[in-house]
């Protein structure tokens, strides 16, 4: 009921709606968890009073209009169906198994569908009157505001809500026997049964001493799961590290986690680690949790469990080595130091440890989580220094003692009897190894699982010692004397502008270095290597999906004289992470690193060896193929992924490379195909492009304290001389390391250079249906069509139709190449607002719906997909409503009010992406195809911002006319559940279509006239 009430209060608040649509730039959201409901508002500080008025209206003055309650009831039911995917089921199965000793497993926040459907307005009002009272509420305000002014405004707006005289302790005297919330009469206690420690040490107040001395196993099936998951968990009392003096034990626990993960990395050198070990404090459930999650093939679960538990038991019995302690310290402390340096304005604490809270919203979330249980929360730099001091108190004996205590519940000679809770999630069916046919999977019995976990043969001391992890050497390419100097093509006119380097081997490098601040984001570094070819190149060369296979192997392989284990550990120790993906027309290798000399050097060294001498072997291929098979099978069981695949195949029947690899393609891959893909695309770096974007923190004390000079960066923020010095130093370091690491790579003609892809969409739309067998009924509507690419030109079908309709982008597109893309993005945002208002608010058909826009930059093509999650019984109505919204600008043009509201949403999203997305600035380094003289080199951000502000209703309406297939759309109606669910749809087509679609008429008009007596041209579906 709390979740249902959240919807009614939040979305039914007229004051919130007035303010959010009134041009204040306010954003809002709400969430409900096991122990509280939270309402968030973000706005400029000068609008504090308006924000407080909105929160007062949301929390204490809900209208409870029957129409609003009915709408939110439908929205919550739709949300329950939408979130019911594979991961949600795994999470609920885990929480249900671990918390079977209390009522948590019966009180998931989203609610039970039968209860949601039956609650009346009177029941909701009674729930609100009981719990939405001042005594049970806490108001958090974070921002650059005057405290006295804020307190006065709070008193002015909230003092009128009288106390309800509910018996309650003081707001911060929390109920320590239950969840972390104020103790109130009528609130049920949620007590936990904890795992009994080996020494029976009292680590908590007497009320917590409800111990379990045994192993409980639960087994459930997950129809959407392909593999098998076994999660072994131990609940312990949550004892918060609330003072700096408590940091030693807190840090020691984190060091053990890192050391165990290092041991796992050494055991599974091929890259596929079948398990994850974690220890954390869960405020949501008010417990400390240690978990071991094992992911395995269903037919090999016993062997995998034995392999994983052997490592765990060996650490508990024989301990860790001194070098492993030092490696773990280095990893943890480096991670905290980099986070503190990246966002010196942020807060950090013992609840989330490595994740700094750098925005007002993040700080509020951290305060809500840490305040009740007393976790330590400091400014980032103070937290880093406190951890460094605590680390000096931890020696090997202390760490091994902590490891034995943490790992003791897994049993063995060191731990004794196995204890805790084991939750097993099994698939309903699996694919037969040789035929690929689906066969039912027989889940193991509870007794069999318990026996297997209790009777693991342990390693002897010599074998356990051989598993210890040691620190790898660096990966220098060669001697610097042999390298050719890079040539600087363009020098920056000012700080924070792009520098372009052209190496002698043909590699083009662009660098953007800027100061880190709350606007541009935390200090961080990233590089993106773009290699022509991609999935389209694979299809042209007759080896589909081979590039994706090659990248999967590259991401976890050895290189040169270094093993896979050494390469992976070297990356971890130097804070280098990678994300490799095969795009439609190019491969993109993203490498993220800390903005420090050592991390920058390590990232470029890894890139050097990955391009020059990677070890593509059969073991790496087998593991990569296993991952790709798992992804393909997961897409087959996913309602959204399966529907999207069907839609793209119907839209582009001859261009299979626009969609993800299917299972049959993965099964036909070979190691030879992966090696050919590498030879085709990585033999020469000529034609490749490397974009590098780095945000650097200023160097405190690097300039004279009596001087203070400023300039402006690309966001318009003032840049001090300290920041300028840091930018210049990082740029010099980058040039030096690029010269050292990338100049030796081979140049020459690129064997993969071919013509750009030229897809052609079908001129006829269609309607297809997809059904996935499942125990739960769900439905999804997908409506798609063509649109132009990023630069305003489309595929052959779109161009022919545009010519037939006499469509033109106008003179603005010639002046600014970004015009088509920004106009299309703004138009889609306006349509999204209409879609939400019509399908969700007016018709109550869905909780989640949106329109996605894909505009390819590398070739002329694009498409849009409208997605609506709904109920099977309302799927036809939802499809008609979605098509109606897509066509609505034809009779209801966009208004200035819609456009301005959408601009604010886009500006907020853009600002958030700057702060949070690692690869944001990498997409802003490439130059425009037609350089606007008003823009500095590479500065796409400023151009996009100014262009968006200048767009009006005529531009947005023109962009809508650029959408293709509206009169004859591509539609996929996807359902899951029993066969009867699919039968709810009528046998005839649901969406009405033009008898002669524009695309068909345009193609007929453009086709040459057939000679007398010849057959006329036929357009196939």
- pLDDT tens column, 590-599: 999 998 888 9
State mean pLDDT over 740-756.
Answer: 74
pLDDT category at 814 given cuts 50, 70, 90 is confident
Which letter, b or e, does each residue of 54-72 get, where b requires 16 or more Cβ atoms within 10 Å of its Cβ? Answer: bbbbbbbebeeeeebbebb
Is 795 or 938 the better-scoring residue by pLDDT? Answer: 795
**How far is 1008 from 280, CA to CA, in rounded Å?**
70
Task: Tell me the pLDDT tens digit for each residue of 30-41.
Answer: 999 888 899 988
**In the predicted model, what is the mean pLDDT of residues 611-617?**
91
Mean pLDDT of 297-307: 92
More confident residue, 550 or 908: 550
706 has pLDDT over 80: no
How many Cβ atoms from other residues are within 10 Å of residue 1002's Cβ?
21
Q: What is the pLDDT of residue 70?
A: 87
Q: Highest mean pLDDT range out of 23-27, 329-333, 695-699, 844-848?
A: 329-333
Q: Contact 944/826 with Cβ under 8 angstroms?
A: no
pLDDT at 179: 66
In whole angstroms, give the CA distance from residue 903 to residue 238.
45
Average pLDDT, the chain: 83
Please give the full DSSP string across 76-141, using - where no structure is assigned: HHHHHHHT-SHHHHHHHHHHHHHTTTSGGGG--TT--HHHHHH--HHHHHHHHHHHSSGGG-----
- Which one, of 747, 764, 811, 659, lies nearest residue 998 by Cα? 764
Q: How many Å is the Cα radius of gyration of the chain?
A: 30
Comparing 1-5, 119-123, 169-173, 773-777, which segment has the lowest mean pLDDT?
Answer: 169-173
CA distance 63 to 40: 19
Closest of 335, 487, 313 to residue 406, by C-alpha: 313
Residue 713's nearest CA partner among 936, 491, 924 is 936
Q: Could you give phi then psi for residue 220, rounded to 5 degrees?
A: -135, 155
> Taking the mean position of all CA atoms in its chain, how far away is CA 497?
29
Q: How confident is the model at residue 904 (pLDDT cuts 50, 70, 90)?
A: confident
| Neighbour count for residue 212 (Cβ, 10 Å) | 18
pLDDT, position 473: 64
Task: Report the range of poorest mean pLDDT among 267-276, 456-465, 739-748, 795-804.
Answer: 267-276
Sequence-distant (6+) residues with CB within 8 A of 20 are: 26, 27, 28
Task: Give the up-direction half-sphere exposure of residue 958: CA atoms within 13 A in the CB hemisphere.
Answer: 19
Looking up tokens 């620190």 gives: 471
CA geometry: angle 549, 553, 554, nearest 5 deg:
115
Q: Which of 137-151, 714-728, 842-856 has the lowest mean pLDDT?
A: 714-728
Whether residue 419 has pLDDT greater than 50: yes
Q: Which two tokens stand for residue 534?
A: 């991609």
d(CA 982, CA 973): 9
SS (H, E, C) 469-532: CCCCCCCCCCCHHHCCCCEEEECCCCCCCEEEEECCCCCEEEEEEEECECCCECCEEEEEEEEE
Confidence at 271, pLDDT banded by 50, 70, 90? low
pLDDT (average), residues 407-413: 87
| 767-776 average pLDDT score | 90
Q: How far is CA 980 from CA 194, 637, 977, in A?
A: 45, 18, 8
Contacts 24+ apart (CB under 8 A), 170-175: 171/135, 171/138, 172/371, 172/372, 174/372, 174/373
Q: Which pLDDT band, with edges at 50, 70 and 90, does 375 fall under?
A: confident
241 vs 250: CA distance, rounded Å: 6
How much is the average pLDDT of 631-651?
91
Contact 947, 816 (CB under 8 A): yes
Instruction: Find the mean pLDDT for residues 370-374.
Output: 79
The one-character DSSP state at 575 is T
Which is more confident, 379 or 167? Answer: 379
| Range in 170-184, 476-490, 864-878 the model is least confident about | 476-490
Q: What is the DSSP string of 857-876?
A: SSSS-EEEEEEEEE-GGGHH
pLDDT band at 338 (very low <50, low <70, confident <90, very high): confident
Residue with tokens 């008010």: 286
CA geometry: angle 974, 979, 983, nearest 5 deg: 70
Q: What is the mean pLDDT of residues 391-395?
A: 93
Question: What are the beta bridge partners of residue 427?
Answer: 222
| β-pair type (718-720, 849-855) | unpaired
For 1008, half-sphere exposure in the C-beta direction (CA atoms, 13 angstrom radius) is 4
Question: Is the distance from CB of 529 to CB of 536 less than 8 angstroms?
Answer: no
- pLDDT at 834 (0 to 100): 93
Q: What percent of the chain has pLDDT over 70?
A: 86
| Consecutive H or E run containing 10 | helix 2-11
What element of type H or E holds 768? strand 766-773
Residue 793 confidence class, pLDDT cut points 50, 70, 90: very high
SS3 728: helix
Task: Inform me whether the pLDDT recorded for 279 exceeds 70.
Answer: yes
Q: In the numeric block, which tokens belong to residue 751?
A: 């064997």
Query: What is the per-residue pLDDT for 937?
Result: 42
* pLDDT, mean of residues 75-81: 85
How does DSSP classify residue 991? S
269 or 826, higher pLDDT: 826
For the chain, what is the largest distance between any 2 Cα atoms, rounded to a whole number of angstroms?
98
- At 856-900, the pLDDT tens digits run 988 999 999 999 999 899 999 999 999 999 999 999 999 998 898
Query: 315-352 burial string, b = 16+ CB within 10 Å, else e?
Result: bbbbbbbeebbebbbbbbbbbbbbbbbbbbebbbbbbb
Confidence of residue 589 (pLDDT cuts 50, 70, 90): very high
Dihedral of alpha carbons 815, 816, 821, 826, sign = negative
> What confidence score (pLDDT) does residue 940 get?
66
Neighbouring C-beta atoms of residue 716, cutoff 10 Å:
9
- Find out whether 595 and 574 touch, Cβ atoms under 8 Å: no
Whether the predicted pLDDT of 1014 surpasses 70: no
pTM of the model: 0.84
């Amino acid at each position: 009921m709390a979740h249902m009430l959240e919807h009614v209060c939040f979305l039914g608040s007229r004051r919130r709606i007035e303010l959010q649509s009134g041009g204040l730039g306010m954003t809002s959201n709400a969430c409900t968890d096991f122990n509280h409901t939270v309402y968030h508002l973000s706005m400029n500080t000068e609008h504090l009073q308006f924000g407080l008025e909105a929160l007062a209206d949301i929390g204490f003055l809900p209208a409870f209009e029957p129409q609003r309650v009915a709408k939110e009831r439908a929205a919550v039911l739709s949300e329950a169906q939408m979130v019911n995917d594979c991961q949600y089921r795994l999470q609920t199965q885990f929480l249900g198994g671990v918390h079977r000793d209390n009522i948590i497993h019966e009180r998931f926040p989203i609610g039970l569908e039968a209860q949601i459907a039956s609650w009346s307005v009177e029941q909701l009002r009674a729930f609100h009157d009981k719990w939405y009272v001042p005594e049970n509420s806490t108001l958090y305000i974070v921002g650059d505001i005057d405290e006295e002014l804020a307190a006065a405004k709070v008193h002015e707006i909230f003092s009128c809500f009288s106390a309800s005289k509910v018996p309650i302790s003081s707001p911060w005297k929390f109920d320590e026997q239950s969840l972390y919330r104020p103790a109130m009469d009528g609130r049920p206690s949620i007590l936990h049964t904890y795992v009994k420690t080996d020494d029976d040490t009292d680590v908590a107040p007497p009320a917590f001493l409800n111990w379990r001395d045994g192993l409980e196993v639960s087994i459930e099936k997950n129809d959407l799961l392909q593999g098998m998951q076994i999660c072994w968990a131990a609940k312990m009392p949550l004892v918060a590290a609330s003072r700096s003096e408590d940091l030693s034990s807190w840090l020691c626990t984190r060091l053990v986690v890192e050391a165990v993960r290092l041991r796992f990395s050494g055991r599974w050198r091929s890259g596929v680690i079948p398990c994850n070990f974690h220890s954390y404090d869960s405020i949501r459930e008010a417990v400390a949790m240690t978990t071991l999650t094992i992911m395995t093939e269903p037919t090999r679960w016993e062997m995998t469990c034995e392999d994983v538990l052997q490592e765990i038991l060996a650490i508990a019995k024989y301990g860790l080595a001194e070098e492993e302690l030092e490696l773990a310290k280095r990893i943890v402390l480096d991670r905290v130091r980099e986070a503190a340096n990246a966002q010196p304005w942020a807060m950090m604490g013992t609840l989330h440890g490595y994740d700094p809270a750098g925005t007002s919203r993040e700080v509020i979330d951290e305060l809500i989580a840490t305040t009740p249980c007393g976790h330590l929360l400091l400014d980032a730099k103070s937290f880093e220094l406190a951890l460094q001091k605590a680390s000096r108190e931890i020696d090997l004996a202390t760490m091994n003692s902590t490891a034995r205590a943490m790992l003791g519940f897994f049993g063995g000679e060191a731990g004794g009897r196995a204890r805790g809770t084991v939750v097993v999630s099994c698939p309903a069916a699996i694919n037969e190894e040789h035929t690929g046919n689906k066969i039912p999977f027989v889940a193991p019995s509870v007794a069999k699982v318990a026996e297997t976990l209790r009777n693991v043969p342990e390693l002897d001391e010599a074998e356990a010692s051989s598993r210890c992890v040691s620190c790898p050497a660096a990966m220098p390419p060669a001697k610097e004397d042999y390298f050719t100097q890079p040539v600087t093509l363009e020098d920056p006119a000012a700080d924070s502008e792009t520098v372009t380097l052209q190496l002698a081997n043909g590699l083009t490098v662009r660098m953007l270095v800027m100061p880190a601040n709350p606007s541009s984001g935390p200090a961080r570094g990233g590089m993106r290597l773009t290699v022509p070819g991609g999935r389209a190149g694979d299809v042209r060369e007759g080896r589909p999906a081979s590039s994706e296979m090659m990248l999967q192997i590259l991401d976890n392989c050895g290189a040169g004289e270094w093993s896979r284990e050494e390469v992976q550990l070297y990356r971890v120790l130097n804070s280098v992470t990678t994300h490799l993906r095969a795009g439609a027309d190019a491969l993109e290798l993203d490498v993220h690193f800390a903005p420090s000399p050592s991390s920058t050097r390590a990232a470029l060294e890894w890139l050097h060896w990955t391009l020059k001498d990677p070890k593509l072997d059969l073991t790496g291929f087998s593991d990569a193929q296993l991952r790709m098979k798992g992804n393909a099978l997961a897409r087959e069981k996913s309602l959204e992924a399966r529907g999207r695949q069907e839609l793209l195949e119907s839209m582009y029947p001859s261009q299979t490379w626009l969609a993800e690899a299917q299972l049959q393609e993965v099964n036909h891959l070979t190691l030879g195909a992966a090696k050919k893909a590498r030879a085709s695309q990585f033999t020469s770096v000529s034609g490749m492009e490397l974009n590098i974007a780095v945000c650097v923190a200023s160097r405190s004390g690097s300039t004279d304290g009596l001087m203070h000079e400023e300039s402006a960066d690309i966001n318009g923020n003032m840049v001090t001389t300290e920041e300028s010095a840091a930018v210049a130093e990082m740029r010099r370091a980058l040039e030096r390391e690029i010269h050292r690491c990338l100049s030796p790579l081979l140049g020459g003609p690129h064997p993969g250079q071919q013509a750009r892809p030229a897809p052609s969409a079908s001129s006829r739309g269609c309607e297809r249906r997809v059904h996935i067998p499942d125990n739960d009924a769900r439905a999804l509507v997908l409506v798609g069509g063509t649109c132009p690419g990023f630069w305003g030109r489309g595929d052959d079908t779109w161009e022919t139709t545009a010519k037939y309709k006499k469509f033109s982008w106008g003179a603005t597109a010639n002046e600014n190449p970004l015009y088509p893309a920004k106009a299309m993005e703004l138009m889609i945002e306006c349509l999204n607002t209409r879609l939400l208002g019509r399908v969700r608010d007016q018709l109550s058909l869905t909780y989640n719906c949106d329109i996605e826009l894909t505009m390819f930059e590398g070739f002329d093509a694009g498409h849009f997909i409208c997605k609506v999650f709904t109920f099977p019984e309302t799927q036809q109505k939802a499809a008609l409503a979605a098509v109606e919204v897509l066509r609505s600008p034809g009779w209801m043009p966009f208004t200035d009010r819609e456009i301005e509201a959408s601009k604010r949403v886009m500006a907020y999203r853009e600002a958030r992406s700057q702060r949070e997305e690692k690869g944001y600035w990498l997409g802003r380094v490439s130059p425009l195809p037609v350089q606007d003289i008003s823009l500095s080199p590479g500065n796409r951000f400023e151009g996009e911002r100014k262009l968006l502000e200048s767009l009006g209703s005529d531009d947005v309406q023109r962009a809508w006319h650029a959408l293709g297939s509206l009169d004859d759309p591509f539609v996929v109606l996807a359902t899951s559940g029993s066969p009867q669910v699919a039968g709810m749809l009528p046998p005839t087509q649901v969406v009405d279509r033009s008898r002669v679609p524009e695309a068909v008429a345009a193609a007929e008009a453009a086709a040459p006239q057939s000679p007398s007596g010849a057959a006329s041209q036929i357009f196939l579906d």
